[in-house]
Amino acid sequence: MTIDNFFQVLILLTGIVGQLLVAHQNRKGFYWFIACNIVSIIVAVATNLFGMALLYVFYTVMCVYSLYKWKQMAAKTVSIS
C-alpha cells in the first residue's frame, strides 16, 4: 500500500466513522471529522490543492463551532430537567 492509498483510506474511514456518530447524535463524531479534516488538509497542501485545503479548514472550524453549540444545547437540556 502506498502512502497515498494509506491517506485515502484514513480519510475515508475517519469520515465514515464521524458521520455515523453524528447521525446517532454523538458529539465524538465531530472529533473524528476534525481528524479527517486535518489529514485532508495535509494531503491537499502536499498536492498543491490550496482551495481544497481552505475548504477543509472551513470544515474544521465548523466542527469546532458545532461542538460548542451542542455543548450549549446539552447544558440547556440539563438545566430545564
Q: Is the pLDDT of residue 81 over 70?
A: no
Average pLDDT, the chain: 92
pLDDT of residue 77: 79
Site of grid cell 482551495: 51
**DSSP 3-state assignment of 59?**
helix
Work out the pLDDT band at 80, boundaries 50, 70, 90. low
Mean pLDDT for 30-52 is 95
Closest listed residue to residue 39, CA positions, set 65, 13, 2, 63: 13
Site of grid cell 481544497: 52
Tell me how far apart the alpha carbons of residues 47 and 45 are, in angstroms, rounded to a whole number. 5
